[in-house]
Chains A and B, each alone.
Chain A
């Protein structure tokens, strides 16, 4: 079945440093979604990317979808303590029931 690999699993950064998490799918995706889960909380939807090569920004967050629609990345510029949490990608290969989540990247920001 479809697999979605996400790296790194953990990342510690100093406040103000940049952070990137990467997601790779074993199959071509129709879209990819990104979620953030704060410690003790539930995953919260951030964004969906649909088009090949798409880049979207949300303030300090930049999301990219690869040209082959098999990989994606989330980049955070100048991290803040409010960015702490686990970031998940979720790949959709063509139907709502086929979203597969990556294992997540747990981000710690050291003040």
Chain B
């Protein structure tokens, strides 16, 4: 959907580098989420946010940091990228009912 945008679509980075994945939504949804998708694991929740300045850990938060200073933005930072963080990352938002997902960022750590 055009209302939630992720950037970049593709990223290759080196082990140890800091990487930030961006997520922007235009609906002012309260809830936002970061998931990673890996073969054999489905979608796993990394972090979520219930509102600006309110964030909490999901199932697999280690190695990631989030912030939410504005309702519409929810960036995800990999502080020191590792090969195990090679994955497809999806941002999503929700305001009742189902989630709306962004198009994803395919991250490769070499």
User: Which stretch of A43-51, A55-63, A74-82 is in the interface?
Assistant: A43-51
Q: Which of A45, A101, A104 is B97 in contact with, Cβ under 8 Å?
A: A45
CB neighbors of A among B53-110 (8 A): 56, 58-59, 90, 94, 97-104
B90 to A42, Cβ gap below 8 A?
yes
* In the complex, per-residue mask of B21-60: 1 if CB is within 8 Å of any chain A CB, else 0: 0000000000100010000111111001010000010110
Interface size on B (CB < 8 Å)? 23
Q: Does A33 contact B (CB under 8 A)?
A: yes
Chain A residues, CB < 8 A from B56: 97
Q: Which of B31, B40, B90, B102 is A103 in contact with, Cβ under 8 Å?
A: B40
Chain A residues, CB < 8 A from B59: 1
A104 to B42, Cβ gap below 8 A?
yes
Shortest Cβ distance from A23 into chain B, in angstroms? 12
Shortest Cβ distance from B32 into chain A, in angstroms? 10
Chain B residues, CB < 8 A from A90: 99
Q: List the A residue with the shortest CB-CB distance to B47.
A: A97
Q: A33-B98, A97-B31 are in contact. Are A102 and B50 (CB under 8 A)?
A: no
Q: List the B residue with the shortest CB-CB distance to A31.
A: B97
Within the assembled complex, what's the spacing in Å between the Cα atoms of A46 and B103?
A: 16
B97 to A99, Cβ gap below 8 A?
no
| Residues of A bordering B, CB below 8 Å | 1, 33, 35, 41-48, 88, 90, 96-97, 99-104
| Residues of B bordering A, CB below 8 Å | 31, 35, 40-45, 48, 50, 56, 58-59, 90, 94, 97-104
